[in-house]
């Protein structure tokens, strides 16, 4: 099928979404009980085209429409101190996620102490994982700076491990004249039950499965001058064990991942500068001779500028860098040990994007990427590493509606 007819089909689909969302009555938030019960949601579709390699479906010289996000949530404030919330999410992303509906979060938030100076409390249930500036709402297009988040830190490949966890969290907020300080400490069971989580770490068609120990997650954030600048630090520790399946080539291996993220953002009236740096210590052992065991220190960072050109228009420029192993940045040692291309161990991504808010409920985005390396590509979409190309471009269009 020609690129154009596929594109036309998907574009007409987007136009329908637009027409629907512009009709009055539909584009309204739904409140009950005088606003104490609120329903909100979003749906979005992204078209992806790549010059080489596949990203979010079969995109190589084609248009993939296999990246869509649909979510609906309800929140109910029972008393000033207690809120119940839950969100259902369907996330379709090429070979990594089939769009099956999952509980994204479902939690009870209890403010235990509250005064003019701050508040503290606890959350229990399925809680969004604090991880850098964007992770808690990573699947909500309106809250992202671009169509895809910087992949060096917010991997879509391994997203399921850090989306949300089942457990508890305590939090503390302090409001000072100069700024506000917030901190949270969570302990939860990461979601390892999906294929996507296992495949990203172990490889295609694994006969076994991953089990996770309770993962601690700590974040502290300081917002100065009403959010003019934001400084954050996140530390997460994942401890995963592989239970080999029948006739498995792999042994009962163990992954330990400890990402540390430093975040900084400056917000002016018409522009923002954002940068995050992540250091990821990874220890892989006991998988046996058919696996790349060993310790590595991964490194990721990006620098991003957004500019509000006009009330409804925003432009973005970003440089995003990922190294799987700081001690083997160009992947030479990895290539020698495995015979796989060294450029699968890094990715340097220049991104140029534009956002247009047609209405407060309907947003369009376009984005171009020029990438050196394939470090963040998913094996499900690119099963044969020898077919990968080191230099590749991608272009994406997103239409997103919310209520």
Binding site for other proteins (CB under 8 A): 2-4, 7, 29, 31, 35, 38, 40, 42, 49, 51, 61-62, 71, 73, 75, 77, 79-81, 83, 85-87, 105-107, 109, 111, 114-119, 123, 127-128, 136-137, 140, 142-143, 173, 175-177, 180, 225-227, 267, 269-270, 308-311, 313, 315, 352, 354, 356, 360, 366, 368, 393, 395
Cα distance between residue 398 and residue 367, in whole Å? 9
Q: How far apart are CA 187 and CA 189, in angstroms?
A: 7
* End-to-end Cα spacing for the chain: 35
For the bound state, the minimum distance from the C-beta of residue 14 to other proteins, rounded and expressed in Å, comes to: 14
**237-271: b (≥16 Cβ within 10 Å) or e:** bbbbbbebeeebebbebebbbebebebebebeeee
Kindly compute the dihedral angle of the four CA atoms of residues 147, 141, 12, 88, in this order, to the nearest 10 degrees.
130
By beta-carbon proximity to other proteins, the closer residue of 96 and 182 is: 182
Name which of 71 and 208 has its Cβ closer to other proteins: 71
The minimum distance between CB 124 and other proteins, in angstroms, equals 12
DSSP state of 199: H
Rg over alpha carbons for the chain, rounded to the nearest Å, is: 21
In terms of CB distance, is 247 or 310 closer to other proteins? 310
> To the nearest whole angstrom, how small is the minimum distance from the Cβ of residue 142 to other proteins?
6
- Return the closest-CA partner of residue 147 out of 69, 234, 60: 69
Shortest spacing between CB 139 and other proteins, in angstroms = 8
- Provide, rounded to whole angstroms, the least separation between the CB of residue 134 and other proteins: 9
Q: Is 56 helix (H, G, I), strand (E, B) or coil?
A: coil
Output 187 or 335, the one with its CB closest to other proteins.
187
Cβ of residue 90: shortest distance to other proteins, in angstroms?
A: 15
By beta-carbon proximity to other proteins, the closer residue of 289 and 311 is 311
- The residue (of 130 and 199) whose beta carbon lies closer to other proteins is 130
3-state secondary structure of 373: coil
- In terms of CB distance, is 19 or 113 closer to other proteins? 113
Shortest distance (Å) from residue 386 CB to other proteins: 20
| Collapsed DSSP state (helix, strand, coil) of residue 345 | helix
Of 23 and 79, which CB lies nearer to other proteins in the complex structure? 79
Nearer of residues 33 and 336 to other proteins, judged by Cβ: 33
Q: What angle do CA 254, 259, 264 make, to 5 degrees?
A: 170
Report d(CA 74, CA 164) in Å as an integer. 17
Burial of 202 (0-12, 13-18, 19+ CB in 10 A): buried
Helix (H, G, I), strand (E, B) or coil at 200: helix
| Least distance between other proteins and beta carbon 380 (Å) | 22
Query: Cβ 169 to other proteins, closest distance in Å?
Result: 10
Which of 73, 44, 41 lies closest to 56 in space, CA to CA? 44
Q: In DSSP terms, which residues pair with 24 in a beta bridge?
A: none
Instruction: State residue 10 phi and psi, 5-degree precision.
Output: -70, -35
DSSP state of 4: H
């Amino acid at each position: 099928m020609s690129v154009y007819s596929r594109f036309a089909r998907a574009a007409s689909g987007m136009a329908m979404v637009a027409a629907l969302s512009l009709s009055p009555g539909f584009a309204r938030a739904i409140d009950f009980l005088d606003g104490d019960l609120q329903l909100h949601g979003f749906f979005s579709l992204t078209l992806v085209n790549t010059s080489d390699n596949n990203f979010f479906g079969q995109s190589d010289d084609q248009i993939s429409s296999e990246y869509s996000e649909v979510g609906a949530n309800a929140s109910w404030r029972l008393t000033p101190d207690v809120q119940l919330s839950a969100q259902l999410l369907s996330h379709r992303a090429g070979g990594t996620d089939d769009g099956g509906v999952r509980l994204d979060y479902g939690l009870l938030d209890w403010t235990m102490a509250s005064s003019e100076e701050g508040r503290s409390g606890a959350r229990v249930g399925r809680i969004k994982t604090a991880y850098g500036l964007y992770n808690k709402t990573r699947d909500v297009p309106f809250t992202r700076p671009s169509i895809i988040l910087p992949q060096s830190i917010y991997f879509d490949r391994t997203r399921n491990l850090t989306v949300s966890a089942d457990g508890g969290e305590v939090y503390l907020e302090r409001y000072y004249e100069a700024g506000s300080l917030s901190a949270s400490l969570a302990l939860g069971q990461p979601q390892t039950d999906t294929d996507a989580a296992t495949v990203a770490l172990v490889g295609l068609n694994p006969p076994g499965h991953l089990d996770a120990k309770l993962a601690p997650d700590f974040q502290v954030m300081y917002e100065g001058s009403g959010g003019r600048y934001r400084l954050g630090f996140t530390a997460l520790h994942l401890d995963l064990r592989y239970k080999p399946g029948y006739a498995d080539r792999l042994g009962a291996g163990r992954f330990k991942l400890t990402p540390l993220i430093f975040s900084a953002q400056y917000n002016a009236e018409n522009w923002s500068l954002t940068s995050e740096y992540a250091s990821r210590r990874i220890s892989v052992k006991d998988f046996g001779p058919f696996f790349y065991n060993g310790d590595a220190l991964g490194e990721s960072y990006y620098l991003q500028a957004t500019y509000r050109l006009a009330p409804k228009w925003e432009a973005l420029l970003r440089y995003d860098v990922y190294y799987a192993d700081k001690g083997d940045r160009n992947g030479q040692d990895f290539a020698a040990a495995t015979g796989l291309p060294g450029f699968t161990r890094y990715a340097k991504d220049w991104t140029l994007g534009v956002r247009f808010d047609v209405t407060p409920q309907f947003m369009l985005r376009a984005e171009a990427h020029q990438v050196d390396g394939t470090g963040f590509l998913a094996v499900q979409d690119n099963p044969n590493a020898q077919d990968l190309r080191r230099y590749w471009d991608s272009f994406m269009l997103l239409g997103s509606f919310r209520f």
